[in-house]
Amino acid sequence: MKYLPIFTDLSGHWALLVGGNEDSARKLRLLLRTEARIRVVSAAPNDEISALAESGRIELLRRGFEDRDLDGVRLAIVGDAEALEIKDVAHRIRSTGIPTNVVDRPELSTFIIPGIVDRDPIVIAIGSEGAAPVMVRRIREKIESLLPVRLGVLARFAQSFRGAVSAAVPEGAGRRLFWERFFDGPVAQDVLEGREKPAREAMLRLVNGGAQSAPSGSVALVGAGPGDPDLLTLKALRLMQDADVIVHDALIGPTMLDYVRRDSLRIDVGKRAGRQSWSQDAINALLAEHAEAGRRVVRLKGGDPFIFGRGGEELAYLKARGIAVEVVPGVTAALGAASVAGLPLTHRDHANRLTILTGHDRNGLSDFDHHLLADPKGTLVIYMGLGAAPRIMADALAAGRAASTPVVVIAKATLPEQRVLKAQLGGLARLVEEQKVEAPALIVIGDVAALADGEIFEAADAGHRRLAV
Stated length of the chain = 469
CA-closest candidate to residue 28, choices 113, 149, 133: 113
Residues 12/26, Cβ–Cβ less than 8 Å? no
**Strands 406-411 and 441-445: what pairing?**
antiparallel
**Catalytic residue, candidates 249, 304, 375, 395:** 249
Looking at the DSSP bridge assignments, the partners of residue 102 are 78
Looking at the DSSP bridge assignments, the partners of residue 16 are 39, 76
Q: Rg of the chain's alpha carbons, rounded to an integer?
A: 30
Backbone angles phi, psi at 44, to 5 degrees: -140, 65
Rounded (10°) angle between helices 22-31 and 47-54: 40
Residues 6 or more apart whose CB falls under 8 angstroms from that of 49 comprise 20, 24, 25, 28, 40, 42, 58, 60
Q: Is 271 a catalytic residue?
A: yes
Q: Is 249 a catalytic residue?
A: yes
Query: If DSSP states are collapsed to H, E and C, what string results for 139-180?
Result: HHHHHHHHCCCCHHHHHHHHHHCHHHHHHHCCCCHHHHHHHH
Q: Which residues are catalytic?
A: 249, 271
